[in-house]
Amino acid sequence: MNIIFCEDYEEMSRKAAAIIASKIILKPDSVIGFATGATPIGLYKELIKRYEKGEISFADMRTFNLDEYLGEIKDLETSFYNFMQNNLFLHIDVKPENTDIPDGSAADIQAECERYTEALDLIPEGLDFQILGIGANGHIGFNEPDDYFPLDTHIVELTEETIEGQKPFFDDYNKIPKRAVTMGIRAIMNAKQLLLIASGDGKSKILEKALFGPVTPNIPASILQIHRCLTVVADRAALSQIIEKHPDAIL
């Protein structure tokens, strides 16, 4: 596990983008897993800048996304499908047929979970890179605290804490979906490399617990401790608890 210190959100975004860009340059046909939410927006802006400068191309890449809300939401601006279109895909040369996001509006959602799991299983050695954020309760993707680690793509009931965290993206709290479909822990842990990004003091306590506490499904992100290649890029505020308790762990 490598923990990379950044002074602020902007530096975190630049350093995280540099890591992803270097992977794409070295392996143009990389298969990369993307995340949504406020934290990766800066990272995606930096990747777009590098594409516009001609430094990287996404033309040969394939992408998968961690999760999507459940219900008739694909046409809503707040869906993760539209998030990815607006914040990355429409601004780069990735081929639409090479992007895959769970379809939360599928008529048979269980069949969609199985399709997504099978699509991930068809990648011989797992995703080349998976980008992750971390929820205030330690969720990764929408894998919420539980009594076990759910392995494959599945439907999840969002916790109240997670629903509260989605408020900035909705003009009406009552419109926030209460269920989602998410990639399971197995596909995340099968990725060759993981990039966990975190920003803000609201993530400081859970980040320290996840990276230095016991491995437990009550804090899903804690399983990342045993991954073969985890890089954490976080700003000073998010790292404040780790700086205090484990200063030697930070690069």
216-243 pLDDT, tens digit each = 999 999 999 999 999 999 999 999 999 9
Question: Which pLDDT belongs to residue 51?
Answer: 98
Q: What is the pLDDT of residue 60?
A: 98
Q: SS3 letters for the chain?
A: CEEEEECCHHHHHHHHHHHHHHHHHHCCCCEEEECCCCCCHHHHHHHHHHHHCCCCCCCCCEEEECEEECCCCCCCCCCHHHHHHHHCHHHCCCCHHHEECCCCCCCCHHHHHHHHHHHHHCCCCCCCEEEECCCCCCCECCECCCCCCCCCCEEEECCHHHHHHCHHHCCCHHHCCCEEEECCHHHHHHCCEEEEEECCHHHHHHHHHHHHCCCECCEHHHHHHHCCCEEEEEECCCCHHHHHHCHHHEC
Is 199 inside any structural domain? yes
pLDDT at 74: 64
Report the catalytic residues. 67, 137, 139, 144
Structural domain includes residue 62: yes
What's the rounded Cα separation, in Å, for the pair 92 and 77?
19
Q: How many domains does the chain have?
A: 1
Which domain, by its residues, includes 191?
2-224+235-249
What was the pLDDT predicted at 174? 86
Is residue 17 one of the residues assigned to a domain?
A: yes
The domain that holds 96 is classified in CATH as: 3.40.50.1360
Domain membership of residue 229 (yes or no) is no
What residue type is assigned to position 220 of the chain?
P
**119 inside domain:** yes
Per-position b or e across 41-52, b if 16+ CB within 10 A of its CB: bbbbbbbbebbe
Q: What is the pLDDT at residue 193?
A: 98
Instruction: Give pLDDT, residue 134.
Output: 98
- Does some domain include residue 230? no
Write down the pLDDT at residue 104: 94
pLDDT tens string for the chain (251 positions)? 999 999 999 999 999 999 999 999 999 999 999 999 999 999 999 999 999 999 999 999 999 999 999 987 766 788 999 999 999 999 999 999 999 999 999 999 999 999 999 999 999 899 999 999 999 999 999 999 999 999 999 999 999 999 998 888 888 888 889 999 999 999 999 999 999 999 999 999 999 999 999 999 999 999 999 999 999 999 999 999 999 999 999 98
Note the pLDDT of residue 76.
Answer: 77
pLDDT tens digit sequence for 190-210: 999 999 999 999 999 999 999
